[in-house]
């Protein structure tokens, strides 16, 4: 009897405790009276850290700025970082941890393309809002996912823009040189599609490894193909080797880069061969370079928070996407839920972010919110010039 009664009391107590917890949890997961927990995932370790750790540092300084001004509707933003080592399995683990263990409200993240793509199912299932900061894989946003929005220009947008730029510059014989890793393939495949749509074929199609120290063979083959423009799907390091060897072998086509090489001033140093970058143009999803006076505020913030670091374009990726998320949170109102946040993200129209060259526009049917990459060039010895921005449809 006693046992039974105490069990009953215990059960009642448990029920009441649960009810009390429920009341405290009237707010969405990850939201308390004065904080909002935002998760982020990407590579903190391994070569992919450029697209993981560095954008996260950018998010941090944006959050610090917002928190210093009192947060969003009185709530401070907290960032929870998880490492995915650029590995699909680790990314799924990281996202599951953020959702089920850390119980974050929403996420800004995604560095390596394959890792983010692999994690998409988990995110779709949990219906947790994600603003993609750096991953470009088309499969992340096509077909349109319920809660994932991309503040990064997706790979097909940039690849298409690279080709169109070459054609607009009057190039007749266009060649491609690419890295065959997941990053490179995510851009290369839509580029070949774009070629097909225009009814032309690349006159040469070469490969260069991310760790290459020599590109003589590639340059010789491209030179034999008489290419007058080369679309480069390369990281800065192989790109520098390629442009340097091109100059050595007197191969002078129009070189067209993408966001991976979005800092022409740093690139000129990396090539370290005077005049080699004269014909180099690059596309970029951020409309400013770290030396830009417009980036002064962020340069100071990054260098203050991470002593010894220098502002890089990778930081800017995070800075841009964090501002998109912050705006959506503001619009989601003082009682945010994930549904309200998704609605707010869907409703972003022509929202201007200082680091992006064009406005951010999302819709119910299209979550590729950033479609306006900028064109950058730098005369050897001169300043970086923004040539303009093209909107890709």
192-211 binders of other proteins (CB under 8 A) = 206-209, 211
Stretches 6-14, 60-68, 95-103, 367-375: which one binds other proteins (CB under 8 A)?
95-103
How is residue 237 written in tokens? 């390091």
- Least CB distance from residue 224 to other proteins, whole Å? 8
Q: Which of 63, 117, 317, 375 binds other proteins (CB under 8 A)?
A: 117
Is residue 335 near other proteins by the rule CB under 8 A? no
Q: Using alpha carbons only, give the angle 76, 289, 327 rounded to the nearest 5 degrees.
A: 30
Q: Which of 105, 149, 195, 235 binds other proteins (CB under 8 A)?
A: 235
Q: Are 141 and 154 in contact (CB under 8 A)?
A: yes
The three-class DSSP label of residue 374 is strand
Q: Are 336 and 31 in contact (CB under 8 A)?
A: yes
- Least CB distance from residue 322 to other proteins, whole Å? 17
DSSP 368: B
Is residue 292 near other proteins by the rule CB under 8 A? no
As a whole number of angstroms, the distance between CA 276 and CA 274 comes to 6
Q: Which of 76, 237, 252, 340 binds other proteins (CB under 8 A)?
A: 237
Please give the residues from 245 up to 274 whose contact with other proteins meets the rule CB under 8 A: 245, 247-250, 266, 269-270, 272-274
Closer residue to other proteins, CB minimum distance, 251 or 362: 251
Q: Are 38 and 72 in contact (CB under 8 A)?
A: no
Site string for other proteins, 142-181 (x = CB under 8 A): --------------------------------------xx
Is residue 309 near other proteins by the rule CB under 8 A? yes
Is residue 330 near other proteins by the rule CB under 8 A? no
Contacts of 124 (CB under 8 A, 6+ apart): 145, 146, 147, 148
Closer residue to other proteins, CB minimum distance, 137 or 368: 137
Site string for other proteins, 32-61 (x = CB under 8 A): ------------xxxx-xx--xx--x----
Task: Quickly list DSSP for 81-139.
Answer: EEE-TT-HHHHHHHHHIIIIIS--SEEEE--SHHHHHHHHHHHHHHT--EEESS---GG
Stretches 27-35, 94-102, 340-348, 363-371: which one binds other proteins (CB under 8 A)?
94-102
Q: Are 84 and 76 in contact (CB under 8 A)?
A: no
Q: Which of 96, 173, 331, 385 binds other proteins (CB under 8 A)?
A: 96
Closer residue to other proteins, CB minimum distance, 212 or 322: 212
Q: Which of 6, 214, 380, 387 binds other proteins (CB under 8 A)?
A: 214
Closer residue to other proteins, CB minimum distance, 46 or 71: 46
Q: Which of 13, 121, 352, 391 binds other proteins (CB under 8 A)?
A: 121
Closer residue to other proteins, CB minimum distance, 78 or 361: 78
The H or E element that residue 39 is part of is strand 35-42
Is residue 25 near other proteins by the rule CB under 8 A? no
Closer residue to other proteins, CB minimum distance, 173 or 221: 221
Q: Which of 87, 158, 292, 327 binds other proteins (CB under 8 A)?
A: 87
Please give the residues from 344 up to 383 whose contact with other proteins meets the rule CB under 8 A: none
DSSP 144: P
Is residue 14 near other proteins by the rule CB under 8 A? no
Q: Are 161 and 390 in contact (CB under 8 A)?
A: yes
Is residue 212 near other proteins by the rule CB under 8 A? yes
How is residue 240 written in tokens? 């520098």
- Least CB distance from residue 253 to other proteins, whole Å? 16
Is residue 185 near other proteins by the rule CB under 8 A? yes
Cis amide linkage into residue 143, ω under 30° from 0? yes
Name the packing angle between helices 53-68 and 313-331 (round to 10°).
40
**Measured between alpha carbons, how far apart are the two ends of the chain, in Å?**
74
Q: Which of 38, 62, 72, 86 binds other proteins (CB under 8 A)?
A: 86
As a whole number of angstroms, the distance between CA 39 and CA 36 comes to 10
Is residue 282 near other proteins by the rule CB under 8 A? no
Q: Which residue has the tokens 């070629």?
A: 195
As a whole number of angstroms, the distance between CA 44 and CA 52 comes to 6
């Amino acid at each position: 009897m006693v046992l039974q009664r105490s069990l009953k009391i215990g059960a009642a107590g448990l029920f009441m405790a649960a009810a009390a917890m429920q009341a405290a949890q009237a707010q969405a997961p990850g939201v308390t009276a004065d904080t909002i927990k935002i998760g982020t995932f990407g590579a903190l370790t391994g070569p992919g850290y450029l697209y993981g750790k560095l954008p996260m540092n950018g998010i941090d300084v944006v959050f610090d700025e917002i928190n210093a001004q009192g947060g969003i509707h009185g709530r401070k933003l907290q960032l929870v970082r998880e490492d995915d080592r650029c590995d699909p399995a680790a990314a799924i683990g990281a996202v599951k941890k953020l959702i089920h263990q850390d119980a974050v409200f929403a996420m800004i993240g995604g560095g390596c393309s394959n890792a983010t793509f692999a994690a998409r199912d988990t995110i779709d299932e949990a219906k947790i809002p994600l603003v993609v900061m750096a991953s470009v894989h088309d499969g992340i946003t096509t077909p349109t996912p319920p809660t994932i929005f991309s503040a990064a220009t997706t790979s097909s947008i940039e690849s298409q823009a690279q080709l169109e730029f070459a054609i607009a510059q009057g190039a007749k014989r266009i060649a491609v040189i690419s890295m065959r890793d997941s990053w490179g393939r995510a851009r290369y495949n839509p580029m070949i599609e774009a070629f097909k749509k225009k009814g032309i074929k690349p006159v040469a199609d070469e490969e260069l490894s991310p760790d290459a120290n020599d590109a003589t063979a590639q340059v010789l083959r491209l030179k034999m193909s008489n290419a007058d423009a080369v679309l480069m799907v390369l990281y800065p390091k192989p790109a520098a080797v390629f442009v340097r060897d091109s100059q050595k072998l007197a191969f002078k086509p129009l070189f067209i880069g993408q966001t991976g090489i979005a800092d022409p001033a740093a690139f000129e140093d990396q090539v370290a061969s005077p005049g080699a970058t004269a014909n180099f143009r690059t596309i970029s999803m951020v409309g400013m370079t770290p030396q830009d006076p417009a980036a002064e505020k962020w340069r100071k913030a990054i260098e203050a928070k991470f002593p010894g670091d220098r502002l890089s374009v990778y930081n800017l990726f995070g800075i841009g996407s964090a501002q998109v998320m912050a705006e959506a949170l503001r619009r989601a109102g003082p009682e945010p839920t994930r549904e309200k946040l998704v609605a707010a993200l869907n409703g972003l129209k022509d929202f201007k972010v200082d680091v992006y060259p064009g406005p951010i526009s999302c819709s119910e049917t299209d979550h590729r919110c950033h479609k306006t990459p900028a064109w950058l060039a730098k005369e050897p010895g001169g300043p970086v010039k923004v040539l303009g921005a093209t909107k890709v449809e």
